[in-house]
Amino acid sequence: MATWNSRGLRGSTLEEFINHTNERYTDMGLALIQKIPTPITPVQIDQSNRHITLAYFDKVSTVDYIGAVQGIPICFDAKECRADTFPLQNVHAHQMDFMEKFERQGGISFLLIYYTAREELYYMRYKQIRKFWDRAQAGGRKSFRFDELEPGWFMKLKNGYFVPYLDYIQKDLDCRD
């Protein structure tokens, strides 16, 4: 069974930016996106500051966020990466399965990847992560390199914290067959 400890805060900066962005999108009437909590069972609690230091995941989660943008269902996961190589082990089979089923139902699935050392934010369409995933499943690389990414899908944070992913959802829609 998987456990959570202090490494569980990885990705919290990006998630804070996304949570703030989602609040703004909701306030503006553009989207309704919710963070999906990962259910855990605490095992150890540091009584001095009342923080959970060890816990078990109750069940596998799907993705970090789910909701609707102007009537279009979307789901996505937020990932942070320190290096120029993104290990596919950071994306789980149950997440890929969920995103595939979501896409089949007419939704849009994607990853938001923040390359922390470069301070670069990338919108990865489901179609692209599927290509890398399938390559790994066929015995190829178990990761993808920064230089394999499509240049037109990098986004800049607005005002240093606002993640303009709605622009990229529209671009994603425009690219679909």
Please report, in range form, the residues annotated as the binding site.
62, 64, 77, 95
Helices (H), 28-164: 93-104, 126-137
What are the distances in angstroms from CA 123 to CA 43, 114, 149, 168? Answer: 36, 9, 10, 7
**Bind-site residues for Mg(2+):** 62, 64, 77, 95
72 Cβ neighbours under 8 A, 6+ residues apart: 107, 108, 169, 173
| Beta carbons of 128 and 112 less than 8 angstroms apart | no
